[in-house]
Every structure is written in C-alpha cells, then in structure tokens.
Amino acid sequence: MSVTGTGYDLAVIGSGGGAFAAAIRATNLGKRVVMIERGTVGGTCVNTGCVPSKALLAAAEARHVALDAARFPGIAATAAGVDMPGLIAGKDDLVASMRAEKYVDLAADYGWDLGQGEASFVGTPERPLLQVRRGDGSVEEVRAEHYLVATGSSPWTPPVDGLQDIGYLTSTTAMELEEVPDSLVVIGGGYVAMEQAQLFARLGAEVTVLVRSRLASHEEPEASRALMGVFADEGIDVVRRAVATAVRRDPASGEAVVTATVAGGEREFRGSHLLVATGRRPVTDGLNLPAVGVQTGDLGEVVVDASLRTTNPRIWAAGDVTGHREFVYVAAAHGSLAADNAFTAAARAVDYRHLPRVVFTSPALAAVGTTDKEARDAGIRCECRVLPLEYVPRALVNRDTRGFIKIVADADTGRIVGITAVAKDAGDLAAAGVYILEAGMTVEQVANLWSPYLTMAEGIKIAAQSFSTDVTRLSCCAA
C-alpha cells in the first residue's frame, strides 16, 4: 500500500497492542490513520509473547496433570513423550488465526492504511515526518498531525563472557524448538524465566534456574518461597544468588557450560540448551528520534510524561518502548490514552496504582497494589495476613494447597492496599482485587461481602476474615 505524501491525522509506528488500541480510538474519533510495520503484524503479544507462551503452558499443564493424576483417588492416567513438532505446529496455527482475526482483518474492518517498511523520523522538531523504506528499496514519506511510537521491546542479554559465541535460546526462539531439551539451564528469575522453566520441565526437560536474588524478586517474599517449593516438587533446581560470569560449549558433549558465582564461590552448570531470560529492552534503533527532538533514556526507552507525550509535542509513545510495565494491557491502555490526549485534549494521565500483574506458572502468581514492603516504604502503617491455601475449600477439593493469599491493609483505616496470591487462577483473584482497591474497600467490608462457595475468589473473603477471626475454627462454608 502506498502512503506517499498523504496527510494523516495519526501515523503509528508498530502494529502491536498499543498501536492497534491507538488506531482504533483515533479511527472512532473520525481521524485518518496510517500504521507502519517493519516485521510481522501483531507485535510481540500475539506472535512471540502472551499467546504462544500461554498456549504452550496450557499444553504442558495438561500433560503434568495426567502424570500427577494419582492425587485424585480412583483416577489413573498416563502421558507419553511429547510430539514437539506437533505441539509447535498447533501453537503456530493458533497464532496465525489470532493474528488474522484480531489484527490484519481488524485493520481492514476499521479502514486505516497499513504499510510495510522501516520507518524513521526525518525533518525537524517543528516539522517531523516519517521516511519509510520498503522491501524493494523504494522510499516513501508520510506526514501526519501526530505520530505514535509503539515499537515494543525485544529480549535483552547481559554481558556474559562467551555468551554471544555459543548460541543460546531467548523466550522467542525457545518456543520454536523442534524437540524437548534433555536439559536446560535458565538464567533469570523473572516472569518469563519462571514460566519457561516450568514449561520445559513439564514437557520432560531437566531444568536448572540461576537466579541473581530470588524468584519474582519484586513481589512478596512469600511468593518466592511458595514457588521455590512448587519448583522443587516438580524437580526444577533453583539456585539463588547465582551470577553467571562465563559461558562456553563443551566440545566433547556439546553441552552449554555456565560458570557462575554462587554465594561467594564458583560453580559450573551444564545443559544441552541454555535459555537467557533476563528481561527486555525498548526497540528504538533506526527511528532517528534525536532528529525530531525526542529524548530517550539510558536503556533506549522513549521518555514520556504522564500523558504519554514525548519531548516533541506532536509525537507520543505507548507500550514497552516507553520502559513502563511490560504487559500488553498496559500497552493497549497507553494507545487509547495517547489517542484521546492527542485529539480530544483529554489530558488523561497513566495511573498504575491498581495495576494487576500475573505470572502464568502453575499455580500462578498474581498481585495488585502494593507489597508489604512497598506500603511501609510509603509511610503506611500496615497490617498483613497470609492465608495458606489449606484454608480455602476450592484448593482442598482441587487437592493442591500449594500457595497462599496475602492481604496488606492500612492499620489505621482498614483499607486494603495490596493483594498477592499464589494459587490456581490467581490472575482472577488479582482482577477482583483491582475492583476492591479501586473502591477503597476495607478488610471489614470484604470480610462481610457475598462470595460464592468453592471458588478460589472466596479465599479473598476468608483472608479478610482472618484479620478478626480464627479461620481455622470456621466450618467449610461459614459466613
């Protein structure tokens, strides 16, 4: 599609969640939109992130449940080896279907222009425009009243001696493997590292995780301890306070050998495969942002204010490229907000106070609001309760009580300021927590609300009751 010299209201660089949300909002406002994508339409989430990873995690959980069926009396099940090419092909089919239905077809339905090519800014800060280099070498210019940078992020690897020489997996390439690794060393302890470690362990790999501090280091310490226990149960070896210093390939065995300092000493870890999951960095290379007066930070992120405007008043940014929290729902909220601010003078600001976050391990880790430490650091005199899942009836009938629900409350007002859970469907608990925190509800209010029996969400009510009641002395469905 040619977009040469055409005047648009909004030109979007990128085609992921933030880009589409902005384009949809702007189109609904009657604005003319063009979207420029240099790679595959759909961005990280549908192509290499949320959708494929959760599809594989669901498959791995199905296999794990079959192998663990003995926990249910009267049930016998077996699970054979994994047909990895078949599993990957199924994942790819799902991704292709969702990319078509939720991205490519949607753009056509809304009627904005979708162009392919490498976009970079030219002109001046006062009169910015885009230069788009197409695959055939031709160059086009795009002019717009406003521009949105929504180019996302990509996997980042630390400067470890030898790492670039031996070949390693990232979260993207790991999901393209045609066979289950015999053994896998994972460097990292964040969301992606935990999900991928459990995924491949459940598919049959022997997994070792090297963690600089602890699992999920930004969440409650109880979450780290609970997941350490889960991983130990499933044969995953988590090595804490491990910092990789060198990597090499053993010429005899072909294994990746990771040298790491562990608690002051030095150890070697071996695996047929090495996965580096140490975070992501914003993608801003080639955009030529300085030419149009757009400031970037130390990690390459586009610097934005609370309204998502960059240091150029006609250029906005959304999603991972801003260096903000890397969730697709954050990117989508960014895109819609930026379009509103650009075209309606809404002056809306991003508000992360009640942002939920989820790690799709099994059981999952999810949280909303502040942790105990964050509340205390903010000057809140807090009171906390940690409810083990053995007191949640849903967990008992599931025959899996690994995990907990924790509530952090303001001791002076009783207002709930944080909820964390490690549990099956913990993400749904965090979603409920968003509404609890947004409404400013107190522990007493939640303790006296209706909650359906034999749901995991009932655990929030029981955790609230534990502030004033000995829940060990409640009957199974006592209000």
Label residue 119 left, alpha or beta by phi (over 0 means left) and psi (-120 to 50 means alpha): beta
Cis peptide before 313 (omega within 30 of 0): no
Position 75 scores a pLDDT of 86
The end-to-end CA distance of the chain, in Å, is 62
User: Is the distance from CB of 462 to CB of 392 less than 8 angstroms?
Assistant: yes
What pLDDT score was predicted for residue 254? 95
Percent of the chain past pLDDT 90, that is, above it, reads: 92
Rg (Cα) of the chain, in Å, rounded? Answer: 24
State the pLDDT at residue 157.
94
Q: Which domains does the chain have, with CATH numbers?
A: 7-154+281-344 (3.50.50.60), 163-278 (3.50.50.60), 357-473 (3.30.390.30)
> Which residues, 6+ apart, have CB-to-CB distance to 284 below 8 Å?
149, 151, 296, 300, 301, 302, 321
As given in the structure block, the two tokens for residue 356 are 């939920």
Residue with tokens 């070697």: 268
d(CA 62, CA 56): 10
Cα–Cα nearest to 129, from 119, 115, 139, 137 = 119
CA distances from 450 to 66, 419, 462 (A): 35, 18, 11
Q: How does pLDDT run across 202-222, given as a tens digit for each residue?
A: 999 999 999 999 999 999 999
CA dihedral 16, 18, 24, 28 (to 10 degrees): -170
* Low pLDDT (below 70) residues in the chain: 1-6, 478-479
Residue 6 is predicted with a pLDDT of 62
Cα dist from 419 to 157, 214, 447, whole Å = 32, 20, 14
Structure-token pair, residue 51: 């959708």
Q: Which two tokens stand for residue 18?
A: 């933030």
What span, in angstroms and rounded, lies between the C-alpha atoms of 331 and 336?
A: 9
Looking at residue 301, the DSSP 8-state letter turns out to be P
- Collect all residues with Cβ–Cβ distance below 8 Å to 218 and sequence separation of at least 6: 371
CA dihedral (105, 336, 92, 423) positive or negative: negative
Give ∠ CA 375-377-380 in degrees, rounded to 5.
Answer: 45
Cβ density class 222-239: b for 16+ within 10 Å, e for less: bbbebbbebbeeeebebb
Instruction: DSSP for 85-144, please give it.
Output: HHHHHHHHHHHHHHHIIIIIHHHHHHT-EEEESEEEEEE-SSSEEEEEE-TTS-EEEEEE
pTM of the model: 0.94
3-state secondary structure at position 338: helix
Residue 478 has a pLDDT of: 62
Residues in CB range of 254: below 8 A, 6 or more apart: 272
pLDDT of the residue at 71:
83
Q: Which of 6, 415, 373, 48 is nearest to 219 (CA)?
A: 373
Q: What is the pLDDT of residue 410?
A: 98
Total residues belonging to the chain: 479
